[in-house]
Amino acid sequence: MSEAREQHLDELREIVAEVLEVEPEEITETGSFVEEHEADSLRAIEILARIEKKYKIDIPQAKTMLRTVSPADWGRTSLFAAAAARLAVEDSGIDQELLSAAAAGSSIGTTSGESQVIEQLTAEWVHEGLSGITPAYAAQVPASRLANAVNQELGLSGEAVTLSTACSASNYALGYAYDQILTGDADYMIAGGADSVCRWAHAGFYRLGALTEKVCSPFDKDRSGILTGEGGAALFLETLESATARGAHIYAEVLGYGLNCDANHMVAPDPVSIAECMRRAHRNAGISPADVDYICAHGTGTPANDTMEAKAVVEVFGERPPPISSIKSMLGHTMGAASGFGAIASALALDEGFLPPTTNYRTPDPGMPGIDPVPNESRPARPKVVQNNGFAFGGNNAITILGQVA
């Protein structure tokens, strides 16, 4: 091998090592290293982006998801938010230039914002003291950057608001976006949420006894807790007139939402308060409980949550409530993104005609009779109105109602 080629390889190895946070010597082309890292597409994009920058060359693959924001300048959660928003806009088919010129903004929900950035800074604190922290990481700490990343990525000049109401935050975001459109404050809104897995949250849930050892099996008699998850979810919102006029594929209509607060306990859910939140959502959407064909549950898979959620559902819907399933059985608990994923699942259920399943379901819980969790396999159905539940630490309940376009 020539010396120049050797040097290039060393440089590339350094870039890869930096992004993957490993020693350059650990990088090999085979075995466990590849297995461990091959699924991480965002880091792969970041590696390509850094190679692009260093050698001043153009690599189209470096921009497959994000076209504007540079992965090196943003924390992982902001990148999830921006990437999801980019995908949502592409899926919507809206003209990019029209979107940028319009009154358009974003509302993004999160639990822990740039948790991995804070973890990185904490590691620097432990190893070098706070005086040794990296300024660029400090600049990435504000969670406001999640929505900022969305607006920067898409060139939106409207409001960028990050709602940090923990695990119901995406429903807050969707509700806010709905109001922005309804009142004419905005013509288009991106609504969703993002979060990254992090060590401290994992440790915290573990110590609360909320983490399952094996699988997440919501509504099962033997359910034993959550699995932490991560990602970004985004929905593109506009008025029905606008969507119809441009011949867009309309997945669902946002009918309304409801918010309230337990004001009782930081972590224990309160079924009376949750039931009241459902009633608020129904009132706002102009529906009654009998109109709801399916409930996309908060369904974390902890004994407490599912029991309390089922109790609230029975209180509002009676002994025979509509089917209620938890997609967290498949995605894990993506925290602030969770009700965003729930809204997407709800929209797909309405659009494609099915009910998403609760996987890993084995044994009915005699403590919640009448609950139909759509066990293990999706069910063909024609839901017209869907309720998407989101609950959170702090007693921050948020429920959105989506419906088929009449």
Partner 1 sequence: MNATATAPGVSPDAPRPHDTLRDGTLAITGWGVVSSLAIGADEFTTAVGAGRSGLRDVTGMFDEELPEDEAFAMPDFRVRDHLGRKGTSFFDRSTSLALLGCTLALDDTDLLVTDDNRDRVGIVLGTTAGSIKATSDYSRETLVNDRPYLVNPVLFPNTVMNCAAGQSAIWHKLKGVNATIAGGQLAGLSALRYARNQIRRGYADALLVGSVEEFSPHTAWFAHRQHSEWEGRARVGEGSAVFMVEDAATVREAGRQPDAEVLAVEAGTYGPPGRSPDAGEGLANCVLRALKRAGVEPSEVRAVASGECGIAPLDDVERRGVEGALGTEVWHVRAKEWVGECQSAAGSLQLAALLAGHRGHPELDGAVSVVTSVSADGSVGAAVLRGWHRGRRADRS
Of residues 210 through 229, those in contact with partner 1 by CB under 8 A are none
SS3 295: strand
Residues 6 or more apart in contact with residue 154 via CB below 8 angstroms: 68, 85, 86, 89, 96, 99, 100, 104, 106, 190
Judge whether 233 and 341 are in contact, CB under 8 Å.
Answer: yes
Q: Which of residues 79-138 bind partner 1 (CB under 8 A)?
A: 105, 110-115, 118-119, 121-123, 125-126, 129-131, 133-135, 138
Structure token digits, residue 238: 């506009």
Residues 6 or more apart in contact with residue 256 via CB below 8 angstroms: 178, 281, 282, 283, 284, 285, 286, 287, 400, 401
User: Could you give the string, one character per residue 21-40, with x where binding to partner 1 holds by CB under 8 A and - elsewhere?
Assistant: --------------------
Nearer to partner 1, 24 or 155 (CB): 155
Give the separation between CA 55 and CA 316, rounded to whole angstroms: 61
Of positions 98, 101, 203, 245, contacts partner 1 by CB under 8 A? 203
Note whether 67 binds partner 1 by CB under 8 A.
no
Nearer to partner 1, 205 or 219 (CB): 205
Of positions 156, 316, 368, 399, contacts partner 1 by CB under 8 A? 156
Could you tell me the smallest distance in angstroms from the CB atom of residue 176 to partner 1? 7
Could you tell me the smallest distance in angstroms from the CB atom of residue 226 to partner 1? 13
Nearer to partner 1, 151 or 389 (CB): 151
What is the residue-wise DSSP string for 190-250?
EEEEEE---HHHHHHHHHTT-B-SS---TTBTT---B-B--EEEEEEEE-HHHHHHTTPPP
Note whether 353 binds partner 1 by CB under 8 A.
no
Query: Known catalytic residue: 265?
Result: no
User: Could you give the string, one character per residue 136-155, with x where binding to partner 1 holds by CB under 8 A and - elsewhere?
Assistant: --xx-xxxxxx-x--xx---
Residue position matching structure tokens 């008699």: 221
Query: Known catalytic residue: 296?
Result: no
Q: Which of 337, 283, 281, 393 is nearest to 77 (CA)?
A: 337
Nearer to partner 1, 54 or 199 (CB): 199
Nearer to partner 1, 262 or 309 (CB): 262
Note whether 179 binds partner 1 by CB under 8 A.
yes
Give the separation between CA 211 and CA 204, rounded to whole angstroms: 9
Nearer to partner 1, 13 or 279 (CB): 279
Residues 6 or more apart in contact with residue 373 via CB below 8 angstroms: 218, 219, 323, 324, 325, 326, 358, 361
Q: Which of residues 251-310 bind partner 1 (CB under 8 A)?
A: 256, 259-267, 273, 276, 280, 283-286, 288
Give the separation between CA 16 and CA 54, rounded to whole angstroms: 12
Could you tell me the smallest distance in angstroms from the CB atom of residue 402 to partner 1? 15
Judge whether 357 and 379 are in contact, CB under 8 Å.
Answer: yes
Number of residues that bind partner 1 (CB under 8 A): 83
**How many whole angstroms from its chain centre is CA 242?**
26
Note whether 72 binds partner 1 by CB under 8 A.
no
What is the residue-wise DSSP string for 304-352?
HHHHHHHHHHHHHH-SSPPPEE-THHHH-B-GGGHHHHHHHHHHHHHHH
Of positions 176, 236, 354, 391, contacts partner 1 by CB under 8 A? 176
Note whether 364 binds partner 1 by CB under 8 A.
no
Query: Known catalytic residue: 8?
Result: no
Could you tell me the smallest distance in angstroms from the CB atom of residue 268 to partner 1? 11
Give the separation between CA 340 and CA 203, rounded to whole angstroms: 24
Note whether 196 binds partner 1 by CB under 8 A.
no
Of positions 62, 82, 85, 172, contacts partner 1 by CB under 8 A? 172
Q: Which residues are designated catalytic? A: 167, 298, 333
